[in-house]
Amino acid sequence: MFEAYAAACKTEQQVLTADQTLLQLPSNWDGPFVAILPDGGAAVAVAVAGFLGISALVILSNLE
């Protein structure tokens, strides 16, 4: 991706330094953060979704 940017800049006679087209991680970076839904949160989400779904079915089945 940055090679194309550097090539486009070169055709326009724009001078780029090496750090402008190089990706580097900060020295204090400790890796990607993985956000995982805890079991309790998943249970609550499933219960709420089930309640809303069943409620919608009951409301729709009682329309006349």
Mean pLDDT, to the nearest integer, of 5-26?
A: 80
Per cent of the chain over pLDDT 90 is 39
Does residue 27 lie within any of the structural domains? Answer: no
If one counts the domains in the chain, the total is 1
Does residue 46 lie within any of the structural domains? Answer: yes
Distance CA 40, CA 25 (A): 34
pTM, entire model: 0.46
Mean pLDDT, to the nearest integer, of 5-29?
A: 80
Q: Are 21 and 2 in contact (CB under 8 A)?
A: yes
How far is C-alpha 56 from the chain's CA centre?
A: 30
23 vs 51 pLDDT, higher one: 51
Confidence check: pLDDT of 59 > 90: yes
3 vs 56 pLDDT, higher one: 56
Mean pLDDT, to the nearest integer, of 41-59?
A: 97
Distance CA 51, CA 58 (A): 10
Per the structure, the complete domain to which residue 41 belongs is given by: 35-64
